[in-house]
Structure 1
Amino acid sequence: MATEEELFASVDALLEEEPLLPSPAERARLREAAGITQARLAAALKTSTQSVKNWENGRSEPKEPRLSAYQRLLKGWAAKYPASPGASVAEPAPVVAPRPEPVPQTSAGPAAAPGAKGSVPAVRRPATASSAPAVRRAAAPAVDSRFPHGPLAVLDGDGSAYGVDGIVLDCPARTVPELVEWTLRESGLGAPKLHRHGKDSDPLIVLTAAAAVKLGLPERLEGHEQRRSLRLPADHPVVKQVAKAKWRLTRRGFGPWARIYRTAQGGQRQCVQLAVLSWDALDERSWPGVTEMEPAGIARALGVYARRVITPRGSTAVSGLELMTALRPPTRAVQDPRTGNWVSGHNPGSLGTDPMDPAPPEATQEHPVVVNSGWMGGFLDEEAYQWVRPVDLLTDEECHLPYAVGLDLNTAFLAAASRLTVGLSGPEHFVNPPFNPKVPGSWLVDLSHVELDPRLPSPFTPTGERPAGPAWYQTHTVAYAQELGCNVAPLEAYLRRETGAYLDPWHDRLKNAYVDTLADLGVTKDLSDAEFLEAMERRTQADPGMAAVLSAVKATVKGGVGKLRERPQGRTYQEGERWPALERPTWRPDIRAAVISKARVNMHRKLLNMSRMTGLFPLAVLSDCVVYPSPGDSPLDFLPYAASGKPLPGGFRLGPSPGLAKLEGVQPMLWAVDLMEKGLNPARHIKGGDAVLDEGE
């Protein structure tokens, strides 16, 4: 029989235990039954509304002295508002952060295995959806046991590291080197490779302004208006800390996007990427409104982008280019037939590891290939449309229509990248070659004799003006001339023997990201055209976080294509010098030209088919936006439909997929005519805001 002393000891142990709270769902039920708002409860307990939300979502638990007060309140409510008979309140399973498994060492191994040293950090929130529910949820991706906490985290000044799916980790780091060590050894952050021959994505830590200051970084940098050259000076204490701890910075130094690394050991990468929000790491044009969100919202938006596209590695343009390489790694392991050893070899279908000089007409005027050779033979001018129909070609009937309606093609460059054959080897020069539409390259052809309706832009020039004589064109432009019935006789050509659909996996991944994110905003493929227009009208209000992800996906497409021909930067650059971008295998102006050429040809084909099916001609075109005169304020008033109600093939069609159209804006017809008379492009301003950015630049 237990002694009195033993019984008292057991009772004392119970008294010392923390008060037991009901389940998060029951907490919310009791508060709502009492008619108390989360804000009022927060005021009573002297805490924040967000903390109350976290308690009711199971993301965190209150601490003393609030814990006892909260328990007393809940007990009082439970006595007044008992659960209805038969109702059960599910008790959530406790969240246990799985300890990551060791990473197998391979020649293309990932970062040092999270959890290899130290312990998994405390997880203070379970994986729950954001408070802004999406309209449609895709199946959650399988969790890689090496990266149980996702690809990234947003670190706040109180040491809370907000990850994907609502997880919050406790980060004890007080210096940048400690943060790097914690990220690699304990955080469980990272992402698996996108291709079996590729590399795992390095973990990303996004720093709020408060976190940056806590780590010894300035909240803002001097000269922050010049973002390209933004970085800490070499003698800054944090830079010295990094060096003293035997970590290294890339040549870009410690800027808005800083990569801190050590040489890989045993095939395992040791690299962490930092993004400093208050240093404008996230461009507002690509990530609208994200920097104003709470850390959890930022983590959610970036996490969705990381899972659907790639872990951000800089600007969306940089991420777009990096995605190409991640999906088409330049090397793979091959067996040396002489020794039997496994060595690094070329991965077929990729661009390889060595930079490739373009043909002179594919280069830019300052390129060494042009300057050193004295090339005077002209250049490719494959750019997006900037065309306005001459005012004297407007008819009275058109001028008396009440509206000008702008249509915008969804990610037109992405649609053009689908099944696009590009060159994978170096250019070879040919004289008077027969034209072959299946061979990618640059052709010197005279298309000035091609007669087209003057109410349409010429498909051969970005200005829409008729060519004046022989000029260099990409294969798709010449093939379209042939499609129109023209006899093409190239004078010269620079062609590539090895070809492939290099951009296909890039297209597929970004297309899925675009369509899935639109679906999260309520814009799905099963909508009628009228429903589609309504859903597009309210999409930005449905979920600002997902709207920002959609904007980032579109910017990734445009910026990635633009990076294929990145120009030199800086006032000190002199013509003929090589610039850093030329050392990348992905500096390929010919591939950029192929994408833009196909996009412009696709646009003209639709314009031509529209004129044949409806008798309508555009007022103006700017890149992927076209403006038509219309009897009503909707595209439904002039787009061609069959008697069955289905859209006629060949023209513009409404829908959420890349290459289909959406409403860009509506203005009075007199407004459009007035701009045209002033020499301005209505397509640039049809949305009602500032000028539209050209794709690819």
Structure 2
Amino acid sequence: MKKAAARKPAAAPVAADPRFAHGPLAVVDADENRQVVAYCVGGLVLDVPARSLPALVEWTLREARLGAPKLHGSGKDADPLLVLTEAALERYGLPVTLAEPERLAGRLPDGHKVLQQLERAKWRLTKRGFGPWARIYRPAQGGRRQCVQLCIPSWNALDARSWGHAAELPPMELAHLLGTYARRVMTPRGSTAVTGLELMTALNPPTRASEPDGTGRRHKEHRPGSLGEEPMDCAPCEVPDGHPMLADLPRFHQRGPAEMLFEEAYDWARELTDEECMKRFLVGIDVNLAFGAAANGAVVGLATPPVHVTAPAFDPTLPGAWLVDLSHVDLSRVVVGKQWRRLEGELLPSPFTPTGERPTGPAWYATPTVAYAVELGYDVAPLEAWVRPEKGKFLDGWYKRLRNAYVDTMGDLGVAEKLPPQEFLASMDGYKQRDPQMAIVLDAIKSTVKGGIGKLRERARGGKPGQPWPALSRPTWRPDIRAVVISRARVNMHRKMISLAAATGQYPVAILSDCAVYAADGPSPLDVLPYDADGKTVPGSFRLGVSPGMVKHEGTQTVLWGEEVREQYSPNLNLARYIKTGEVTAQDDGE
């Protein structure tokens, strides 16, 4: 096998580590003469001498110099990623698209000739088999991993919901796009959701090397601040419906709020008041990277199981789930900025339920939700709790990396940090058209945040009730951590809304997750958010800007539009869902 030859020099050094001099990944393509080349990050194109898939894997590990250094001193280097084009698939005997049975199974059938080639060459596949994100490996030797990951766009590896039209890009452009994501986030390990979850472990590994023992040898030991290597049992109230822990419940039993922790994002709307109907516009504002901002500083349980306590005193510093009655919290009289304030409570959603409805009795809540009730000026008396004394800010490094990836990519699109409100709004006008590829990277980063948080509570797909879920075998199956993040996101949103209401008398008319809609006299967010001549706005409320936790303009429609679509479809239609485009389809009828 001859050495890989560079077709043209790289535009710039890709990696400081000589082992990964050609970057984290390559897009493998074949021309009309069946000659195979690898397009690497930075403009480098390598000749690929491999004539079979096993030979391609061997070449990648021995000669391609692909991969990426570990993100934490106790972590692992990233395995090289090969993205196979349709021409490369044909060259190596793989189908361009999966047939219906294989597509439903998500993998090639056992016995396929390429799988036989890999087996003869003593290469193995993970339990997922050979699917859109296949991992091909041999057991590590001498502490050195032997693993290559494949990404197959024509098998829907690059889901359009996260990656837009990336799968249709020419090889060199696709290498640049995925390379940018890999450099700013990490080498993709699967879907953006899977990558978001893997990034948590890469930045906060479960183990580390011990101090040398009496013979000078080091051993693997638990790393403080991590989730550990073993899966964690959760409290009964924390698990979703269908979990094996609930196998003994009667069939068709519906758990209520006193049985199940239900921390979810907002989906709430109300009728406009007569005064709001006299305004001309509905203006939507959207919180940037809301779940990422909520993860920043979140105190979560770590590597020990929850402890059950009865009639506990509430401790806002202790992560856990609390059974407590918050129905006495009256939003017409709350503490805002350390002072009691009178508000139009009926115009605000409850901060304690995703529907915005006021709770009617005891329910399970994550610590941030109960702490917010105390912040609003009300006493709480939990009946019982599942608490986690071993705690830490597990997600801080994850947030910081994704925050920097998001802000840097927005900068590439011409939206800088710390712009005055008017300049920020102007820079956001058409920002995705300035560089469509960077716009795809941006969407992938946002999907990584949202999907990574969602994966913490991944449910089984299909299967029978009571059967084990594959996701339960991993330490990062942690619905309690997801609950903390979503609780903080919803509470953060509510805190900003009551600060704005107390200062200006403006109340939201609809909220969907991280988007809030207000009635206004003008079409701009500046007609909702008051800014003075010095660029300062209401303390504790929404602020325009690019950083996570700040807000951007989601869209504007007329009040007349809002009234018409509700009359046509449903009086309960959540206008925040359609504020961006104004388009409501017939399938949304009955919202």
The two structures have a TM-score, normalised by structure 2, of 0.92
Distance 1:691 1:212 in 2: 41
Report what 2:298 is aligned to.
Answer: 420
- Aligned residue-pair number: 559
Question: Which residue, out of 227, 230, 236, partners 1:360?
Answer: 236
Contact in 2 for aligned 1:365/1:371 (Cα 8 Å): no
How far residue 324 of structure 1 moved from its aligned partner, in angstroms, is 0.3
Report what 2:320 is aligned to.
Answer: 441
Map 1:203-352 onto structure 2 (within 5 A). 203-223=80-100, 229-335=105-211, 337=213, 340-352=216-228
Match status 1:186 vs 2:81: no
Return structure 1 stretches of 4+ with deviation > 6 angstroms: 373-376, 689-692
Deviations 1:188-215 (A, max 9, x none): 1000000000000000000111111111
Contact in 2 for aligned 1:455/1:618 (Cα 8 Å): yes
Distance 1:444 1:334 in 2: 40
Question: Which residue, out of 438, 441, 465, partners 1:575?
Answer: 465
Contact in 2 for aligned 1:642/1:648 (Cα 8 Å): no
Report what 1:143 is aligned to.
Answer: 16
SS at match of 1:161: strand
Report what 1:459 is aligned to.
Answer: 351
Distance 1:336 1:379 in 2: 46
Contact in 2 for aligned 1:357/1:369 (Cα 8 Å): no
SS at match of 2:441: helix
Distance 1:582 1:476 in 2: 25
Question: Which residue, out of 456, 466, 489, partners 2:381?
Answer: 489
SS at match of 1:445: strand
Distance 1:213 1:501 in 2: 47
Q: What percentage of residue pairs aligned between the two structures are identical?
A: 60
Distance 1:161 1:169 in 2: 5
Report what 2:341 is aligned to.
Answer: none
Match status 1:470 vs 2:343: no
| Cα distance change of structure 1 residues 243 and 356 upon mapping to structure 2, 3 Å threshold | same
Question: Which residue, out of 242, 253, 259, partners 1:378?
Answer: 259
Residue 124 of structure 1 aligns to which amino acid in structure 2?
R
Contact in 1 for aligned 2:412/2:438 (Cα 8 Å): yes
Distance 2:312 2:104 in 1: 44
Deviations 1:110-140 (A, max 9, x none): xxxxxxxx775211122228xxxxxxxxxx8
SS at match of 1:404: strand
| Cα distance change of structure 1 residues 215 and 517 upon mapping to structure 2, 3 Å threshold | same
How far residue 169 of structure 1 moved from its aligned partner, in angstroms, is 1.0
Match status 1:532 vs 2:413: no
Distance 2:14 2:517 in 1: 41
Deviations 1:41-71 (A, max 9, x none): xxxxxxxxxxxxxxxxxxxxxxxxxxxxxxx
How far residue 301 of structure 1 moved from its aligned partner, in angstroms, is 0.7
How far residue 372 of structure 1 moved from its aligned partner, in angstroms, is 4.7
Distance 2:284 2:379 in 1: 34
How far residue 638 of structure 1 moved from its aligned partner, in angstroms, is 1.9
Distance 1:227 1:306 in 2: 27
| Cα distance change of structure 1 residues 349 and 370 upon mapping to structure 2, 3 Å threshold | same
How far residue 395 of structure 1 moved from its aligned partner, in angstroms, is 2.3
Distance 1:320 1:269 in 2: 22
Distance 1:379 1:253 in 2: 35
Contact in 1 for aligned 2:231/2:474 (Cα 8 Å): yes
Report what 1:198 is aligned to.
Answer: 75
SS at match of 2:50: coil
Deviations 1:75-124 (A, max 9, x none): xxxxxxxxxxxxxxxxxxxxxxxxxxxxxxxxxxxxxxxxxxx7752111
Report what 2:573 is aligned to.
Answer: 680
Distance 1:297 1:229 in 2: 30
Contact in 2 for aligned 1:640/1:651 (Cα 8 Å): no
Contact in 1 for aligned 2:14/2:42 (Cα 8 Å): no
Distance 2:68 2:379 in 1: 52
Distance 1:510 1:251 in 2: 29
How far residue 235 of structure 1 moved from its aligned partner, in angstroms, is 1.0
Report what 1:588 is aligned to.
Answer: 478
Contact in 2 for aligned 1:173/1:182 (Cα 8 Å): yes
Contact in 1 for aligned 2:25/2:81 (Cα 8 Å): yes
Map 1:375-414 onto structure 2 (within 5 A). 378-389=259-270, 391=271, 394-414=272-292
Question: Which residue, out of 110, 123, 126, partners 2:9?
Answer: 126
Match status 1:549 vs 2:441: yes
| Cα distance change of structure 1 residues 184 and 690 upon mapping to structure 2, 3 Å threshold | farther
Residue 370 of structure 1 aligns to which amino acid in structure 2?
L
Report what 1:617 is aligned to.
Answer: 507
Contact in 2 for aligned 1:316/1:559 (Cα 8 Å): yes
| Cα distance change of structure 1 residues 444 and 526 upon mapping to structure 2, 3 Å threshold | closer
SS at match of 2:210: strand
Report what 2:401 is aligned to.
Answer: 509
How far residue 342 of structure 1 moved from its aligned partner, in angstroms, is 1.0
Distance 2:76 2:104 in 1: 27
Deviations 1:516-557 (A, max 9, x none): 000011100142222212222221111111110000000000
Question: Which blocks of at least 5 consecutive residues in structure 1 are unaligned?
Answer: 1-117, 130-139, 693-697
Higher relative contact order (CA 8 A, sep 6+): 2
How far residue 396 of structure 1 moved from its aligned partner, in angstroms, is 2.0
How far residue 506 of structure 1 moved from its aligned partner, in angstroms, is 0.3
Report what 1:176 is aligned to.
Answer: 53
Distance 2:214 2:348 in 1: 62
Deviations 1:220-270 (A, max 9, x none): 11128x856221111111111111111011111111010000010011000
Distance 1:358 1:502 in 2: 17
Report what 1:523 is aligned to.
Answer: 415
Question: Which blocks of at least 5 consecutive residues in structure 2 are unaligned?
Answer: 332-344, 586-591
SS at match of 2:117: helix
Distance 1:217 1:619 in 2: 53
CA RMSD of aligned residues (A): 1.8
Deviations 1:618-662 (A, max 9, x none): 110000011111111111122121343323321111111101101
Report what 2:589 is aligned to.
Answer: none
Distance 1:284 1:209 in 2: 17
Deviations 1:563-590 (A, max 9, x none): 00000112xx122221100000000000
SS at match of 1:342: coil
Distance 1:619 1:227 in 2: 43
SS at match of 1:286: helix
Report what 2:39 is aligned to.
Answer: 162
Contact in 2 for aligned 1:639/1:652 (Cα 8 Å): yes
Residue 132 of structure 2 aligns to which amino acid in structure 1?
P
The two structures have a TM-score, normalised by structure 1, of 0.78
Contact in 2 for aligned 1:205/1:273 (Cα 8 Å): yes
Residue 436 of structure 1 aligns to which amino acid in structure 2?
D
Contact in 2 for aligned 1:675/1:681 (Cα 8 Å): no
Deviations 1:380-410 (A, max 9, x none): 0100000001x2xx32221121111111100
Single out whichever of 530-539 and 354-363 deviates more from structure 2.
Answer: 530-539
Distance 2:491 2:556 in 1: 25
Report what 1:62 is aligned to.
Answer: none
